[in-house]
A = this chain, B = another copy of it.
Amino acid sequence: MKISDVASQCGLSIHTIRYYEEIGICPAICRGFDGNRCFSAENLEWLTLLAALRDTGMPIEKMKRFAALYKQGDDAVLERKQLLQEHQAALDIQEKQLDQCKALVLKKLSIYDDMLGRKP
């Protein structure tokens, strides 16, 4: 699987995928005879997870820890679980922020509608 396919499927840009490899948070992407990266199904799954974590605001440092634990294998499952649980808490905060923002925007929009309705 080539980089453009992975990019379109996991939602990361080609640049970002290369960047993630460079900083070591996507383990073991092999290369074809032509020097191009070729991605396994495991790579794709991992990058898809990273994309979801990134989209919801996980910082790179945390991804690095997560990737290191992933490389350690089964011994580190408990720590990986804890890390994801921390992220769950972050997701809850975001959900609250999202709801608050939605409410504020709705309020503003109704004020604008009043102003627009009254005027013309």
Given the known interface contacts A52-B97, A56-B97, A74-B115, the answer about A105 and B81 at a Cβ–Cβ threshold of 8 Å is no
User: How long is the Cα–Cα vector from A112 to B83 in the complex, in angstroms?
Assistant: 12
Contact residues of A: prevailing secondary structure: helix
A116 pairs with B52, CB closer than 8 A: no
Would you list 26 pairs from A and B whose C-beta atoms are within 8 A, ordered by A residue? A48-B104, A49-B108, A52-B104, A52-B105, A53-B101, A55-B97, A56-B97, A56-B101, A74-B115, A77-B112, A77-B115, A78-B116, A80-B112, A81-B109, A81-B112, A81-B113, A84-B105, A84-B108, A84-B109, A84-B112, A87-B105, A88-B102, A88-B105, A91-B98, A94-B94, A95-B98
